[in-house]
Chains A and B, each alone.
Chain A
Amino acid sequence: EIVMTQSPATLSVSPGERATLSCRASQSVSSNLAWYQQKPGQAPRLLIYGASTRATGIPARFSGSGSGTEFTLTITSLQSEDFAVYYCQQYNNWPLTFGGGTKVEIK
């Protein structure tokens, strides 16, 4: 099983600042990596797939990068609606696996 490790567990950021979230895979997942956003009481929402492609309707302030085992989600100029939990997920191998999540909170 591929283990996905996200860091940090919690990120405190002021509105308007930049947030950088990391996701590491225990073995290569090529570019088969997705990022999701989840707000309390809601289902997750797809942000990024293919490591760097924004899903439909996702603002340009969200960007993904990386390949192989190291991935980054960057949110430039955080808006109030961006404070949430973010998960990475690999879909290169079975079983599919998620990272433990990074909570982005208001500083």
Chain B
Amino acid sequence: EVQLVESGGGLVQPGGSLRLSCEASGLTFSIYAMTWVRQAPGKGLEWVSAISGNGGSTNYADSVRGRFTVSRDNSKNTLYLEMDSLRAEDTAVYYCAKCFSAGNRDYYYTDVWGKGTTVSVSS
């Protein structure tokens, strides 16, 4: 069974930094592109970032570009999201999710999700 477990959330002051991790099990991690999706309290889903299986290609939402960095360590089956210059509007549950892959092609819809980790940005 594929499992994704996020960690690293917490309370941070505006302007601060945080690193989220997502540990994957039950899959050949390096094959799959991965994404981060967040959900502010009482709001809908917002895509944050994505990274290809080998880490060579990354993409970001405009709202986080230049402040967040996605990376992965395939030897540790772990996905990361480094978040800098945090703002109150970054407060959300952050989910990591696995993308579908077939025939050496990545499809950026997500078929497995973690339970999420909560980030609160407040003074």
Contact = CB atoms under 8 A, between A and B. Distances in A.
Contacts of A87: 44-45
Interface in B93-123: 95, 100, 107-111, 113-116
A44 B50 contact: no
A27 B50 CA distance: 22
A36 B44 CA distance: 12
A56 B111 CA distance: 9
Contacts of A17: none
Contacts of B114: 43
Interface residues of A, number: 24
A61 interface: no
B107 A49 contact: yes
Secondary structure of the B contact surface, majority rule? strand
B35 interface: yes
B61 interface: yes
A95 B45 contact: no
Interface in A75-100: 85, 87, 89, 91, 94-100
Contacts of B46: 98
A46 interface: yes
Given A1-B62, A95-B62, A46 B111 contact: yes
Interface of B: 35, 37, 44-47, 50, 59-62, 95, 100, 107-111, 113-116
Interface of A: 1, 32, 34, 36, 38, 43-46, 49, 55-56, 85, 87, 89, 91, 94-101
The 4 closest A-B pairs by CB, nearest first: A34-B109, A43-B113, A91-B108, A96-B47
